[in-house]
Structure formats: structure tokens, C-alpha cells
Amino acid sequence: MGTGTGTGADTGTGTDTGTGTDTGTGTGTDPLPSADEWEQVASGTTQDLYGIGFGSATVGWAVGANETIICTKNGGDSWVDQFGNLESSVRPHHEASAHILGSRYTNPGPAHLLDVCAVDANTAWVTSFGPCRDLDLTPCFVTTSGGTTWTCVLTATNFQEWGIYAFDGQTARICTVGSPGHPDSDIIVINGGFDVGSLRVSWASLYDITFATRYDGWVVGGEIWHMADADSGWSRQQRPSGTGMLICVEAADANNVWACGDDGVIIHTTDGGATWTRQESGVSVMLWGIDFIDANTGWCVGADGTILGTTDGGATWTAQDSGVSHGLSSVSAVDAGHVWACGVAGMILRKK
């Protein structure tokens, strides 16, 4: 999750005299690509990808079904498999099922990896779909070596780890969802590489988590929960009327936060969640991922190849041409020129 600092101004004082002449002496070079164009890059996998995260303009990871974790160190030009680098004795291996990207998945053995949070070019965290073999605990994995090695952190839950936000190689927050029919959720706190505590939220599925500072964060799903500081704990915030399930949340700062989900819903707060309002997305499909580089510029992705962009904090969202019609699950932006999205069948898109 990148941050931007652009402050340029348009003086707009020029006058068109209408006296120019077209000499026809162009150089014949190809036109520059539109700022809204995307291209597909070869990921090297056909597995569905659920999460993508970049720690720099060149280094990023994507994770997904059946033990898929791939890494690029050249901005997405090429990707290499890193699942073999995970700590093998505690790889997740469990039968479970859930709806992911609109389809029902049953995992009879090989792990589904659900989310990735890249802190920088060396540090990233990955969450998993269910408990590891022989242990009724769900692992997550962390690397501080760019993926050369991944170390397991066993969390005190056997729930599915849908979302993670990490601060460094030692500290992270994870939201988890229980089994169908028992949709309790845990917010897991990891400090010093160990699970040191959690908050149980009964009968409320929670799918994603984000922080503006180390102790100012939000979790979304069937409800919105907010932590304001280290001492206050988590409290529920009021969603706009008619808001369905929220799948992803992103904070640009302590005031500006967005969440997206069912039926094209995007909601936004400018006061840290004291009030949330709906934004007009222009679509009615499921929106799976959202990311902002500052309080103005962001992207949202979802079903049917949907990509939306905004440069005014979501006051207006504009459809961008993804060139694909399949579902997109996640988006990661480092700056306005370095944005990626992933989705079904190993699809990775890169903003031109």
C-alpha cells in the first residue's frame, strides 16, 4: 500500500488562437498509452489468485489456490514460484470449503493462500485457508528475505485467515472467519513473531483489515470495527443503510478510509469512521479489492474484469478497460504508475 505526495497545480491561462498549421511531419512513433490502459502479464500459473501485494515498484507477491505463492522482482515481467520456500513441517493441509471469487471451493488437502501484505521489498506476510496437517491451528507465513525463506507463525485459531495487515517482519494483524453456520470471527494480534491475543466477534464474518497507524485500524465484513488507540480496543461503527457484505478495506490516512463489497458498493469516511457514506461506483457486481496511494487516487477491482479508478477520493469512479471479462480479486498500488491486479486462472494485470 503506497502513499503519494503529488501537489502540482494547473494554471490553465493559455489561449487557443486557432492559427496553427498541421505540417504532417510526425515522427511515426507509437502514441503513449492511455493512463487507464492495462496489460496482462504472464504469471506462470493457471491457479486462481486471491491476493497481490507489492513492496516496491519492482518486488511483489501473488497468492492463491493449491499452494500458489509467486514472486516478481522486475515489476511483473516474470514470476517465480516460492511455495517450496515455506516451512514444510507446518504447511497448511486441511479439508475445508468456502465461497471465494463467487465460486464454492473445497480444499481436500493442498493449501489455499488467501491474502498477502507486502511491507517492503524484503518483508511480506501470507495467510492461509485452514489448519495445517496434524495441528488444529491455522498458520500464516512471513519472509524478511524477499521470499528466500518463509517462516511459519501459528495463530490461536483454526479459522480461515481472509485478511492481513503487517507493520514489519514481527508485527501483524489478521482477521479470520469461522466455518459456515458458525460465522464467528477473530482479530488476531501478532507481536514479536508470536500470536499474543485476539478479539472474538460473534456471528459476524470479517474479511479484511487495514491500519492508518499502528493502533488506528478498521476491520470490515458483515460489520465495521475500529480500533482508535492501543488502550481503547475495538468498537463497532455504523454502516450506511442497505450496505451488504464488505470484502476489502483501505485506509489512506487516519481520516480517509474506503471499503467495497457486494453489489458494487463502495463506502467512504472522511472522519475516521464516525460517519460513513456511499459512493457511486457505477457498477452492481461484487467488488473484491480496493487500494489507494493517497487521499485522492485509488483503484477498485471486482467481478467480470471490473476495474474502477478515481483521482478525487471516490467522488467519481471511472471504469477502466481491463481487457478481460473474468473476476479480479485484488489490487496493489505503489504509486500512480505502478499498479497491479490479479484474479482467476493466474491472471495478473499491470497498469500501463
- Residues 170-226: pLDDT tens digits? 999 998 886 555 557 788 877 765 554 567 777 678 899 999 998 899 999 999 999
* Dist CA 161 CA 150 (whole Å): 17
Rounded to 5 degrees, φ, ψ at 222 are -75, -15
Contact at 8 Å (CB) between 307 and 322? yes
What residues have CB less than 8 Å from 336, skipping those under 6 apart? Answer: 4, 6, 293, 297
The reported pTM is 0.84
Is there a domain that residue 229 lies in? yes
Beta-sheet strand order (sheet of 124-128): 113-118, 124-128, 139-143, 151-154
- Cell 504472464, located at residue: 42
pLDDT at 135: 66
> Whose CA is closest to 159, among 186, 132, 140, 141?
186
Q: What is the arithmetic mean of pLDDT over 102-121?
A: 71
pLDDT at 99: 39
Q: Can you say how many angstroms the Cα of residue 64 is from the centroid of all Cα atoms in its chain?
A: 13
Q: Which of 27-36, 86-95, 287-296 has the largest mean confidence?
A: 287-296
Contact at 8 Å (CB) between 211 and 165? yes
Per the structure, the complete domain to which residue 273 belongs is given by 38-351
Is there a domain that residue 285 lies in? yes
Is there a domain that residue 329 lies in? yes
Domain CATH number, residue 98 = 2.130.10.10
Rounded to 5 degrees, φ, ψ at 90 are -130, 25
* CB count in 10 Å sphere of residue 182: 10
* Dist CA 222 CA 148 (whole Å): 37
Mean pLDDT, rounded, of the chain: 83
The answer on pLDDT for 233 being more than 60 is yes
Percentages of the chain per state (helix, strand, coil), in multiples of 5: 5, 45, 50
C-alpha cell at 64: 492463491
pLDDT at 6: 37
Is there a domain that residue 27 lies in? no
Q: Which of 12-26, 73-87, 320-334 has the largest mean confidence?
A: 320-334
The answer on pLDDT for 337 being more than 90 is yes
Is there a domain that residue 265 lies in? yes
pLDDT at 1: 37
Q: What is the arithmetic mean of pLDDT over 235-244?
A: 95
Please count the structural domains in the chain: 1
Is there a domain that residue 21 lies in? no
C-alpha cell at 169: 517482519
What residues have CB less than 8 Å from 140, skipping those under 6 apart? Answer: 125, 126, 127, 128, 152, 153, 155, 161, 164, 172, 174, 190
The answer on pLDDT for 108 being more than 60 is no
Q: Which residue has the higher pLDDT, 30 or 77?
A: 77
Which helix H or strand E contains 305, and what residues bound it? none
DSSP, collapsed to helix, strand or coil, labels residue 308 as: strand
Is there a domain that residue 7 lies in? no
Is there a domain that residue 2 lies in? no
Contact at 8 Å (CB) between 138 and 160? yes
* Dist CA 95 CA 130 (whole Å): 8
pLDDT at 215: 87
* Dist CA 226 CA 284 (whole Å): 27
